[in-house]
Structure 1
Amino acid sequence: MTDAAAQVRPGFGAYLSDLNRAQKSGAGVPAYTRWINRRLARGVAASAAALGLSPNAVSMISAMLSAIGLAIMVVAGPSWWSALITAALLAAGYVFDSADGQVARLTGTSSAAGEWLDHVIDAIRTPTMHLVVAVAVVIHRPDLGWLAVVALIFAVMSVGQFMSQILAEQLVRNSGGEATEATGIRKSLMLLPTDTGVLCWSFALWVVPPVFAVVYAALFAVNLVHTAASMRRKYRKLTAR
Structure 2
Amino acid sequence: MTGEKRHYGEAVSRLSAAQKPGQGVPAYLRWVNRGIGRRMGAMAYVLGLSPNAVTLLSAAVSFTGIGIIALAAPNAVMSWLAVFLLLTGYALDSADGQLARLLGVSSPAGEWLDHVVDALRLPAFHLGVAIGLYRRADAEIWTAALAVAFALVASTWFIGQLLAEKLGPKSVRAPGSDARAWVSLAKQPYDVSTSFLTILFFPWLGTFIVLYAALLVFTALVAVLSLYRKYRWLASVTAGSSQEIS
Provide TM-score, normalisation by structure 1. 0.93
Q: Which has the higher helix share?
A: 1
Kept after mapping to 2: 8 A contact 1:126/1:155: yes
What displacement does 1:141 show? Answer: 4.1
Residue 40 (structure 2) pairs with residue 28 (structure 1) = no
In the alignment, which residue of structure 2 is the partner of 1:5? 2
Specify which of 115, 130, 133 is matched with residue 134 of structure 1: 130
Which moves more between the two structures, 201-210 or 96-105? 201-210
Kept after mapping to 2: 8 A contact 1:101/1:110: yes
Structure 1 counterpart SS, 2:202: helix
What displacement does 1:142 show? Answer: 5.2
Structure 2 counterpart SS, 1:184: coil
User: Match for 2:225: what amino acid?
Assistant: A
Residue 219 (structure 2) pairs with residue 223 (structure 1) = yes
RMSD: 1.5
Kept after mapping to 1: 8 A contact 2:59/2:89: yes
In the alignment, which residue of structure 1 is the partner of 2:158? 162
Aligned ranges 1:103-118 → 2 under 5 Å: 103-118=99-114
What displacement does 1:146 show? Answer: 2.2
Kept after mapping to 2: 8 A contact 1:78/1:209: no
Unaligned runs of 5+ in 2: 238-246
Q: Per-residue CA shift, 1:124-148, capped at 9, x if unaligned?
A: 1100111111111010145332221
User: Match for 1:65: what amino acid?
Assistant: V
Residue 114 (structure 2) pairs with residue 79 (structure 1) = no
Specify which of 179, 193, 218 is matched with residue 174 of structure 2: 179
Q: Per-residue CA shift, 1:56-99, capped at 9, x if unaligned?
A: 11001100111111111222121011111011101111000111
User: Match for 1:226: what amino acid?
Assistant: V
Unaligned runs of 5+ in 1: none
Sort the Cα spacing of 1:184 and 1:177 in 2 relative to 1 into closer, same or farther, 3 A.
closer
Residue 194 (structure 2) pairs with residue 198 (structure 1) = yes
Which moves more between the two structures, 35-44 or 132-141? 132-141
Where has structure 1 moved over 6 Å in runs of 4 or more?
A: none
Number of matched pairs:
236
